[in-house]
Amino acid sequence: MSQTVSLQEAPLTEIEDFCAPDGGKAFFFNTSDKIRIRVAIWSVNSSKGTIVLQSGRTEFIEKYYEVVNEFLERRFCVAMFDWRGQGLSDRLISNPFIGHVSSFSSYDQEFKEILESVYSDACPKPWIGMGHSMGGCLLASMAANCPNLFNLVILCSPMLSLKISKPMEIVGLIIGEMSRFGFRNKAFPQAQWKERRGWHEIKFSENLVTTDESRFTRSSNLIRSNNGLALGGPSLAWMHESIKRIRQVNRPGWGQRITSPTLLLNASKDQLVDPKKNKLICKSIPNISIMDIEGEHELLMEKDQIRKETWKAIDKFLKTNL
């Protein structure tokens, strides 16, 4: 791993009965715009290839230990990083608990730099890009812009749409106007917020992403163990940029630019993104497989039976296309 030898070692948070998988290294990578990004890579000597695993908004490497282990059991290398503004990567504004980015193009650029400067030397081919939620949206964008980069693409409840109460054009216009008047760094008004702690710990009964209480609690315990992992609601800028990106991927024929065989893991009970719209968007991808799974947004953090169905779809897709 010649590009990473001189880079600073990064910590990985562990709690009782949930530790980092063996055989990995975590370190900080500095982007061209001087943002420090936490990267973790496991099993660089794999002969099967690399799962380029991209997490969603508010998420962090530690949350995926179970998923990483499952890919390691399948003899893959696994590569992850925390997006800027979350996890243990640099936070971007004075209040570290607001999920902020000034432009989604910054996500695109850091992704490109890590792929070129870190993964290209360290991570064996073929590359299987897998992204959840926001990570799925950004992965799909990368696959569309660089058609030969990933051999395969797996999109898990990707943020190609958003479930919002008002038409997206109206929401985008309102947020855009608020952004113009200097509120881009402020928390989105509907975000759950606690001034004292900076972030609001949602009760399991109030969560919208999983029906599995033990996995939900496990993620919460990781944050309690390391408050630096905590993240609250998005900024107005993040909301504005997410709507702009979703408009892009909703353009007719956008999916035709993704030439790699692609699997859509579509959560039929998703309360954050629209599974019907996601299917419609992904049907324009030339080599698409769609698996509807009766679960909430975080399919790989769901109950065992739902995860079993999800893994069955992933394994079949990999076996068919590798």
CATH assignment of the domain containing 100: 3.40.50.1820
159 within domain boundaries: yes
Q: Name 40's bridge partners.
A: 26, 80
Full domain range(s) for residue 121: 24-321
pTM: 0.92
> Omega into 234 within 30° of 0, i.e. cis?
no
Residue 200 has pLDDT above 80, yes or no: no
Q: Mean of the pLDDT values across residues 230-248? A: 91
Domain assignment of residue 12, yes or no: no
pLDDT in tens, 283-307: 999 999 999 999 999 999 999 999 9
How many domains, in total, are found in the chain? 1
Q: How confident is the model at residue 268 (pLDDT cuts 50, 70, 90)?
A: very high
Any idea of the CA torsion for 278, 176, 81, 268, to the nearest 10 degrees? -20
Name residue 155's beta-bridge partners: 131, 264
**How many CB atoms sit inside 10 A of residue 14's CB?**
14
Position 48 in a domain: yes
Confirm whether 5 is domain-assigned.
no
Residue 201 inside a domain? The answer is: yes
| Residue 8 forms part of a structural domain | no
Does 14 reside within a domain? no
Residue 253 lies in a domain: yes
In Å, how far from its chain's centre is CA 45? 25
- For all residues of the chain together, what is the average pLDDT? 90
Q: How confident is the model at residue 2 (pLDDT cuts 50, 70, 90)?
A: very low
Average pLDDT over residues 59-82: 98
